[in-house]
Structure 1
Amino acid sequence: MLNEKVELLAPVGSVESLFAAVENGADAVYLGGKLFNARQFASNFDYEELKSAVEYAHLRNVKVYITVNILVDDREMRKTLDYVKYLYEIDVDGIIVQDLGLASVVRELFPDLPLHGSTQMTINNLPGAIFLQNLGFERVVLARETPLEEIKNIHENSDIELEGFVHGALCVSYSGQCLMSSIIGGRSGNRGTCAQPCRMAYDIIRYDKDQSLSEQWNKKYALSPRDLNTIEYLDTIINSGIISLKIEGRMKRPEYVATIVKNYRKALDFGINSITGEDKDDILQIFNRDFTKGIMLKEFGRKFISYDRPDNRGNPSDKLLIKAKESYQDSNIKYPVQVEINISIGKPAELIVKYKIDSFRVESEYIVEKGKKVILTKERVLDQLSKLNDTVYYIEKANIYLEEESFLPISVINGLRRDAIEKLDSKRKNFNNRKPIFNKEYEAKIQKYFNFTKKEREKGNKISISLADENHFNQIDLTKLDRVYIGFQKGLKEALTKVKEAGKEAFLLTDKILYKEDLDKLKPLIKFLEEVIDGISVSNLGTLQWVKNNFNLDIHGNIGLNIFNSFTVTKLKKIGLKSLTLSPELNMKQIDEICTKGSVDYETIGYGYLPLMTTKHCPMSLVKDCKDDSNCNNCSFSKGYGLKDRKGMNFYMERRRGTTTIYNSVPLMVLDSIEQIYRSGVNMVRLDFTFEKENIKEIQEIYYDYAKGMVSEKEVMEYVEGYRKEREITKGHYFRGVI
């Protein structure tokens, strides 16, 4: 047995999959309701089905975690909290959440409801785990890209439970940091409706020349990962500190769930050497896109990506499928009980059922009579008490005290059995022994979150600029901006000094993904820069916690924090953030709703090629056949390349410090709408520059001058029309929003 404390966690997308998971040995299952979960296209469970699922699982000693793991906007928050209240009352064992605002309110309203941080919170280091631990989370589902040494560091230096994926489909992007489906088609992965553009074919191209790299790399599935399979490495994973082994697959058929759970259960109970060739073949045939052991275990490039085809290579025979289905058609899970029955003439009959240390006593209303024609026998009594086929119990031991010549109708004995078992079930269904929440008490508590005074909108009309390249800095006009975010390192102090000398705000721009090694390198750099920076821009909860722990500097929350509602704003303000970039997935109505409720500096992106995907995977590693990412910093393929999709749209990609960012094919440009954006309560509109050939100075000047009232609306409209003639532009989600 690998570890008795380790939990095998199975995916459940339907009632049949629930049976498959439980009957094949899952310790816990995760599933979603019809709303508020990141698998909106699974069958999922309505309210009554959720209640039944929890009861079914609890009676078989299996925990149930419910996914409430999407970003929630202000108008949805009350309905979401009412849903969480229902989950609390039906005794779910925990909820999996992504939204920071939702989590903070749930923690206050339902203090004894366990919170699990979704992998979409992008927790990949110790400070991130500590952040959630301090917020009252019981568990974190780590980013799939978190390496073993990082997991060990988290395990050894925190008290939060660690959950990790061990089998199933993989996202190529860091979860929570993918906008590709959202920006291209309006279906947001952060809202549970991802259209999976990562599974589409792309040409790898030389971006500036709009030229295919070669025929060999046309129509390749350069973003489609193989399926994760770590069954032969479970001991290594468990030794790193993972206590919950998560199987992906809420969209998969029940036979898949049955097969994968059965084999991982076998490996856990009897060791990885117990997995036979036949078992491996079952796993292979039920579903696979080729297998990888994952980035966690250092797979990279061609060993990680199924670049020739994105679909299932499995081909299960009818006889596999039948065997898998048979495994959950009938319940084989039974628990021993002891029974004692006393039947004495002139008294009510008494039945006691014992399960472990608990005992349950019931008594009949019927008074036992002396039999005239028919009398009871011990055999007949035992036969009636043993009719437990519709329960999860069997009689291990029976003591029958029966006075001679006693008579009791069989229906009364059956009723005693049913009543005692019902009492036992009621106790066992209620894993968590929660106190009921009365509606009056709940309403009183919840109203403080929804009774607010509209804040006076501060007119800032500021322009900020974000730069990741030294050459871009040399092109900007320091008189025509209010704040600069700088993410390059060569000549960094000199650049920041110039910003300060110009009397502008200077912020250090940090990467979305930082591991312990990266943070260790960043610390002396920030100390070196403390005198010339006003603050640090963070795009990750781990970086946020780390900056708070180590520096007394202002913190700006960037788009990686997925700020989607005023509840998240309130929490981040309490933590100490002074300014925030709102999620680019918000529309104007949602932005307006947020800005009426808070008094921080709000920023939105007004120009730039939005980052669609942040990934540890490097598509160019397929071309070079890289075995690992050890040479990324010196690679000539890190810039200048991109992907072309089936519609002929080109997506630029750039690799920096071990992470690839894929950008949108067209720039966001809302110059002609920034007056409306400022009226909503946004203080600052940001310009993000990615390419050198972007007319940086010209774009900066027209945005700044319009924001400050130095050019007319007519001049702006003419500029936008001229710009649009040269290239396609987008207004992103400002006027459409996401599903």
Structure 2
Amino acid sequence: MTAKPNSLTSKVHNLQVPELLAPAGNWECAKAAVENGADAIYFGLDKFNARMRAENFTEVDLPELMEFLHLRGVKGYVTLNTLVFPQELKDAQQYIRSIISAGVDAVIVQDVGICRLIRHISPDFPIHASTQMTITSAVGVEFAKELGCNLVVLARECSIKEINKIQQQISVENSHQKSLPLEVFVHGALCVAYSGQCLTSEALGGRSANRGECAQACRMPYDLISDGEIVNLGDRKYLLSPQDLAGLEVIPELVKSGVSCLKIEGRLKASEYVANVTRVYRQALDNVIKDIPDIPENQQKTLIKKGNQEHYNLEMAFSRGLYTGWFEGINNQELVHARFGKKRGVYLGEVKQVGREEITIRLEAPVKAGDGVVFDCGHPERKEEGGRVYGVLRKGKDTILRFGKRDLNLRKIHIGDRIWKTSDPELDKQVRQSFASEKPQFQRPIFVELYGELNENLVAIARDEIGHVVQVKSSITLVEARNKPLSTERLQEQFGRLGNTPFCLGELKNHLEGELMLPVSELNKMRREIVARLEELRTQPKLWKINENASLSDLLPVKDSLILPSPQLIVLVRNLKQLEATLKAGIETIYCEFEDPRKYKQAVQIVRQSSHLQFSNYSSPNPSPQIWVAPPRITKPAENWILQQVRSSNADGYLIRSYDHLRYFAGENCIGDFSLNVANALTADYFKNRFGLERLTASYDLNINQLEDLLKSAPSQWFEVTIHQHMPMFHMEHCVFCAFLSEGIDFRDCGRPCEKHQVKLRDRVGTEHILQADAGCRNTVFNGTAQTGAEYVEHLIKLGLQNFRVECVNETPEQVTQTIHLYQQLLEGYITGSQLWRELRLQSQLGVTRGTVVS
């Protein structure tokens, strides 16, 4: 497969061709990506990467892997995209030095502290802000830039309209300097939750997605319970499992948006998947670039219709259904079909008749002997019937599929069952052939200029597409041609013989003066020398600057030995009745997180009136309570109106949950919430001292040992810890209320069922998880079982921790009062953590687990 001359660096009508970035979980996947046209690959090592279940590479592999990639004109990016705990920072420091020394092209990072450490070690090594950093706005891009990042991978939830708005805003903000390039995912599995904000695996099994151990709870079935009753959704059970992303048809719009990179998801996928999907997008991207000037704007789509070869290839590679995701805006009826959460493939049709070892269907896609199929009876959680097709017989408009004896249990196949093609051995063979050979299949262009005149040497200047230049001279001089002079066509033929090399001939310019001749053997020798010298240049490791004296200790904050006051209990409430109960319980610091921020004014009023009454009551020992309010966790480009509503409440302070909030509430009293993912002292120091936050909520990914390490590595008064909560598991753009309790596609036509119904999601073990919406129509699924860290409170107090948080979700005022009372007794030393645990266990209406602090 030969690259087109303009495949990487050319511009069409001022449009920069985006880089095509493919996943590689192992060596075979890396080769599959290279041979099918990837401009770059991304891969993990055996630590600190968000796909720990992949085979991955090691530090020892890096020099050889980078030499292979660079020889082929492909970049290599290492994923260091997990949170890093305090005791791991030294290992991370060594990892970073190894990565930089190996000539890796960039590292993809989630952890703010790790970004700081990389930039401290090297002033020029490229850092890509991972999608795990949850960047959804121009403010987020600017945050990444100030942190030292060189590129931002936007959240998958950004539409093309929002991408264009972000591009416009960052261009205005950086009018005098270059703005950061943006990367977007274009194909692959869609996480239903915002990357970096999913705590489901952590909550349910202690396997954090922020640590590369996602257990894919979003792909499981759930019952929808509305106001205490199960909603009959028929065969729709997979309420949180989106279709797979396929951005093929919107590539023209993505190119015009100016994004610098299109990224394919799939480091856990096989090499055939990588080869198949990479080739489809390579060809589509090249065709779009070629065709954009000639196609009317309203028709600029690489149409991906059911039945065409590209769509077929992508479905056979891996498919839970293909959809454009959020690129074209929110459509809650399309994003999640909810009928299955696992790979299907190509839809063949429905069963019309069941015979002896044969099934009659009305065919909707091609099928042939040898293909594998599965029969879908609407219960994907059960073992499904399937097997290889032995024969295909056309009978009018129907098709009869024949199977081997005893391959199928025909009693489990029914009329109306859907049939999916899950395997196409012929396609698999074609795909494997694309990367099985030792001979390069995908060649990148070189551009040659030839100069010479009579009795002088022939001079060839060759350039590759990434800027390497070599000059080669013939060892003998040019002579006058008696026949067959060195025409442009002859020169193209000789210099184009690059079959076993990484190169193909792009443009050749002939500047020879007169009709001249040189032996073919000399031309071949020059061609071979050009190839050898370009290969040598390309395989030289990149030399990034490294500060040999830079040390992790340079960035660590200084621990002090302040004498701290008594510990305080902070309570977060989610409605006004909970707020009133919390005030009556004498809580001095209250956080409010309401679905409707307009109600914050009333909440502030209630607290201020309570404060006035306390002030009038001279016998009251409590100081005036403070109220802090929380904006929604995510802010999109057009949503500042929500932040305006939050600030108009004139609360005592604000919970900071994203990079947008850091800027919008600058100068106010601010506390960093858990969603900032503060997991180590480097991150804590950045948020505390760079942005002046009063304190920080420790990441919910930390267990007791890691919390202890955090408190020992930074001043303990910087932090608060949530010791009782219903873990916020999924935080997502997908609105379950809209998708399954309305026929609308978004907030404009859904009828706002979130305001009318109390909804829960019941999982396979019977736990009912609480569903709530926010002002931006984003949904959060809270764990139906509360968790407590009560048994570790005494130890945390000894470590200097002063601020302990209790979070309410849907508790009644009586339950709120009861819970607060127990934790007050705990902090005052009247009961132990074990006693509190037993008391909460007795309150069966609450339910409680020791949760993630223990694990």
TM-score, normalisation: structure 1: 0.85
Do the aligned partners of 1:95 and 1:114 also contact (CA within 8 Å) in 2?
yes
**What is aligned with 2:575?**
469
Asked if 1:28 corresponds to 2:40, the answer is yes
**What is aligned with 2:664?**
546
Over 3 Å counting, the alpha-carbon distance change for 1:629 and 1:582 in structure 2 is same
Question: Deviation per CA, 1:418-461, whole angstroms, max 9, x where unpaired?
Answer: 998665434223475434x4xxx535534424696565573541
Asked if 1:261 corresponds to 2:278, the answer is yes
User: What is the distance in 2 between the residues matched to 1:268 and 1:323?
Assistant: 21
Q: Report the CA distance between 1:218 and its aligned residue.
A: 7.3
Asked if 1:569 corresponds to 2:677, the answer is no
1:653 match: secondary structure: strand
Q: Among 624, 633, 643, which residue is 1:522 paired with?
A: 643
> What code does the residue aligned with 1:56 have?
F
User: What is the distance in 2 between the residues matched to 1:547 and 1:456?
Assistant: 29
Asked if 1:206 corresponds to 2:237, the answer is no
> What code does the residue aligned with 1:513 have?
I
Equivalent runs, 1:575-590 vs 2, <5 Å: 575=690, 576-590=692-706
**What is aligned with 1:325?**
432
Equivalent runs, 1:615-626 vs 2, <5 Å: 615-620=732-737, 621-626=739-744
1:701 match: secondary structure: helix
Equivalent runs, 1:121-136 vs 2, <5 Å: 121-136=133-148
User: What is the distance in 2 between the residues matched to 1:585 and 1:537?
Assistant: 19
User: What is the distance in 1 between the residues matched to 2:525 and 2:51?
Assistant: 43
User: What is the distance in 2 between the residues matched to 1:538 and 1:394?
Assistant: 53
2:255 match: secondary structure: helix
**What is aligned with 1:300?**
331
717-726 or 417-426: bigger deviation:
417-426
Asked if 1:510 corresponds to 2:605, the answer is no
1:296 match: secondary structure: coil
Question: Deviation per CA, 1:346-400, whole angstroms, max 9, x where unpaired?
Answer: xxxxx99955663378999xxxxxxxxxxxxxxxxxxxx99987642579999xx
Asked if 1:52 corresponds to 2:64, the answer is yes
Q: Among 682, 690, 703, which residue is 2:801 paired with?
A: 682
**What is aligned with 1:223?**
240
Do the aligned partners of 2:29 and 2:274 also contact (CA within 8 Å) in 1?
yes
Q: Among 791, 815, 820, which residue is 1:695 paired with?
A: 815
Over 3 Å counting, the alpha-carbon distance change for 1:496 and 1:92 in structure 2 is farther
Do the aligned partners of 1:263 and 1:275 also contact (CA within 8 Å) in 2?
no
Q: Report the CA distance between 1:68 and its aligned residue.
A: 0.4
Do the aligned partners of 2:744 and 2:750 also contact (CA within 8 Å) in 1?
no
Question: Deviation per CA, 1:686-728, whole angstroms, max 9, x where unpaired?
Answer: 011111336111211221233134x344xx7555423312334
User: What is the distance in 2 between the residues matched to 1:650 and 1:535?
Assistant: 33
**What is aligned with 1:722?**
839
> What code does the residue aligned with 1:655 have?
A
User: What is the distance in 1 between the residues matched to 2:231 and 2:588?
Assistant: 41
**What is aligned with 1:169?**
189
Do the aligned partners of 1:500 and 1:506 also contact (CA within 8 Å) in 2?
no
User: What is the distance in 2 between the residues matched to 1:85 and 1:422?
Assistant: 30
User: What is the distance in 1 between the residues matched to 2:779 and 2:88?
Assistant: 34
**What is aligned with 2:653?**
535
Do the aligned partners of 2:219 and 2:241 also contact (CA within 8 Å) in 1?
yes
> What code does the residue aligned with 2:114 have?
L
Over 3 Å counting, the alpha-carbon distance change for 1:574 and 1:326 in structure 2 is same
**What is aligned with 1:614?**
731
Q: Report the CA distance between 1:306 and its aligned residue.
A: 3.4
Do the aligned partners of 2:583 and 2:610 also contact (CA within 8 Å) in 1?
no
User: What is the distance in 2 between the residues matched to 1:188 and 1:292?
Assistant: 27
**What is aligned with 1:596?**
712
User: What is the distance in 2 between the residues matched to 1:312 and 1:611?
Assistant: 28
**What is aligned with 1:380?**
none
Asked if 1:139 corresponds to 2:245, the answer is no
**What is aligned with 2:105?**
93
Q: Among 579, 592, 599, which residue is 1:486 paired with?
A: 592
Question: Deviation per CA, 1:581-606, whole angstroms, max 9, x where unpaired?
Answer: 10122112211211123234311111
User: What is the distance in 2 between the residues matched to 1:563 and 1:171?
Assistant: 22
**What is aligned with 1:650?**
768
User: What is the distance in 2 between the residues matched to 1:30 and 1:638?
Assistant: 45
Do the aligned partners of 2:40 and 2:77 also contact (CA within 8 Å) in 1?
yes
> What code does the residue aligned with 1:652 have?
I
Question: Deviation per CA, 1:29-62, whole angstroms, max 9, x where unpaired?
Answer: 2111121110111111122333222222222222
> What code does the residue aligned with 1:497 have?
R
Over 3 Å counting, the alpha-carbon distance change for 1:71 and 1:415 in structure 2 is farther
Q: Report the CA distance between 1:202 and its aligned residue.
A: 1.2
> What code does the residue aligned with 2:535 have?
D
Over 3 Å counting, the alpha-carbon distance change for 1:48 and 1:431 in structure 2 is closer
Asked if 1:556 corresponds to 2:675, the answer is no
> What code does the residue aligned with 1:189 have?
A
Over 3 Å counting, the alpha-carbon distance change for 1:334 and 1:62 in structure 2 is closer
Over 3 Å counting, the alpha-carbon distance change for 1:56 and 1:461 in structure 2 is same
Do the aligned partners of 1:12 and 1:29 also contact (CA within 8 Å) in 2?
yes
Asked if 1:83 corresponds to 2:95, the answer is yes
Over 3 Å counting, the alpha-carbon distance change for 1:424 and 1:708 in structure 2 is same
Do the aligned partners of 1:484 and 1:499 also contact (CA within 8 Å) in 2?
no
**What is aligned with 1:374?**
none
Do the aligned partners of 2:121 and 2:551 also contact (CA within 8 Å) in 1?
yes
Do the aligned partners of 1:128 and 1:542 also contact (CA within 8 Å) in 2?
yes
User: What is the distance in 1 between the residues matched to 2:82 and 2:685?
Assistant: 18
1:103 match: secondary structure: helix
Do the aligned partners of 2:102 and 2:541 also contact (CA within 8 Å) in 1?
no
Q: Report the CA distance between 1:150 and its aligned residue.
A: 2.4
Over 3 Å counting, the alpha-carbon distance change for 1:322 and 1:233 in structure 2 is same
CA RMSD of aligned residues (A): 3.7
Asked if 1:249 corresponds to 2:266, the answer is yes
Over 3 Å counting, the alpha-carbon distance change for 1:75 and 1:670 in structure 2 is closer
Over 3 Å counting, the alpha-carbon distance change for 1:274 and 1:336 in structure 2 is farther
Alignment gaps of 5+ in structure 1 = 341-350, 365-384, 399-409
Q: Report the CA distance between 1:417 and its aligned residue.
A: 10
User: What is the distance in 1 between the residues matched to 2:497 and 2:285?
Assistant: 34
Over 3 Å counting, the alpha-carbon distance change for 1:580 and 1:336 in structure 2 is closer
Do the aligned partners of 2:17 and 2:255 also contact (CA within 8 Å) in 1?
no
2:821 match: secondary structure: helix
State, as a whole percentage, how many aligned pairs show the same letter.
29
Over 3 Å counting, the alpha-carbon distance change for 1:217 and 1:253 in structure 2 is same
Over 3 Å counting, the alpha-carbon distance change for 1:622 and 1:191 in structure 2 is same
**What is aligned with 1:345?**
none
Over 3 Å counting, the alpha-carbon distance change for 1:719 and 1:19 in structure 2 is closer
> What code does the residue aligned with 1:298 have?
G
Do the aligned partners of 1:477 and 1:697 also contact (CA within 8 Å) in 2?
no
Do the aligned partners of 1:644 and 1:651 also contact (CA within 8 Å) in 2?
yes
Do the aligned partners of 1:463 and 1:704 also contact (CA within 8 Å) in 2?
yes
Q: Report the CA distance between 1:305 and its aligned residue.
A: 0.9
Alignment gaps of 5+ in structure 2 = 1-11, 171-178, 289-300, 346-421, 451-458, 476-494, 511-520, 613-622
2:327 match: secondary structure: helix
> What code does the residue aligned with 1:202 have?
Y
Residue-pair matches, total: 689
2:571 match: secondary structure: strand
